[in-house]
């Protein structure tokens, strides 16, 4: 994802400060209770679950007890970008699997076939009922929304034999 501009971060900081009573002036840092209040006030109460050591908010947890408001604003912008990308993926492809998530990077896996409702309902035993997704169509779909979704760079590739081997090895060793 593209890094937010200084103007976007400043605007988000102003918005976040408006969510809490900041009668003492500008907020420099926030604690966990203030962050949770901001989530709730903004309609993002479900983001509280993202504040875990294995989720996207692990950096916020590491910065506690006082998270700099500029850092929270940047994280918030990335979360909004991720949510928009996630919604677009669901609308465009139906299902996908999130394989890796870092603050500004996501890695997903799509099925190699387009299991649309008509394809699935035609015949489950007919392999031609599942339409393969041409890589060119995937590139075209992403290019069409790249600017709108703040996607800086992306790549599309078929699963390699090494990745398949590693998946089987992880299954075999119970490290799924």
Tens digit of each residue's pLDDT (9 = 90 or more) over 17-76? 888 876 556 778 888 999 999 999 999 999 999 988 888 888 888 888 889 999 999 999
User: What is the CB-side half-sphere exposure of residue 86 using CA atoms within 13 A?
Assistant: 12
Longest Cα–Cα distance of the chain, Å, equals 67
Helix, strand or coil for residue 55?
coil
**DSSP β-bridge partners for residue 105:** 102
Instruction: Collect contacts of 91-98 with beta carbons under 8 A, ≥24 apart.
Output: 92/141
Q: Which of 22, 51, 14 is nearest to 36 (CA)?
A: 51
Segment 128-162, tens digit of pLDDT: 455 677 778 888 888 899 999 998 888 887 777 77
Please report which helix (H) or strand (E) contains residue 85, including its range.
helix 69-93
**Predicted TM-score (pTM) of this structure:** 0.76
Kindly indicate the confidence band of residue 99, based on its pLDDT and cuts at 50, 70 and 90.
confident
Q: Is the peptide bond before 65 cis (omega within 30 degrees of 0)?
A: yes
Both structure tokens of 34: 């203030």
Contact 141, 124 (CB under 8 A): no
């Amino acid at each position: 994802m593209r890094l937010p501009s200084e103007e976007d971060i400043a605007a988000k900081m102003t918005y976040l400060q408006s969510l809490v009573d900041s009668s003492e002036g500008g907020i420099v840092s926030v604690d966990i209770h203030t962050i949770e209040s901001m989530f709730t006030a903004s309609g993002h109460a479900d983001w509280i679950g993202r504040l875990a050591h294995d989720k996207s908010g692990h950096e916020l947890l590491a910065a506690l007890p006082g998270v700099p408001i500029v850092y929270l604003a940047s994280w918030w912008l990335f979360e909004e970008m991720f949510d928009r990308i996630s919604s677009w993926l669901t609308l465009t492809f139906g299902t996908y699997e999130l394989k890796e998530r870092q603050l500004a990077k996501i890695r997903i896996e799509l099925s190699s076939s387009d299991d649309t409702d008509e394809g699935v309902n035609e015949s489950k035993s007919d392999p031609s009922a599942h339409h393969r997704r041409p890589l060119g169509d995937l590139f075209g779909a992403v290019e069409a929304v790249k600017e709108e979704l703040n996607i800086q760079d992306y790549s599309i590739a078929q699963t390699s034999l090494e990745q398949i081997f590693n998946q089987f090895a992880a299954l075999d060793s119970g490290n799924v």
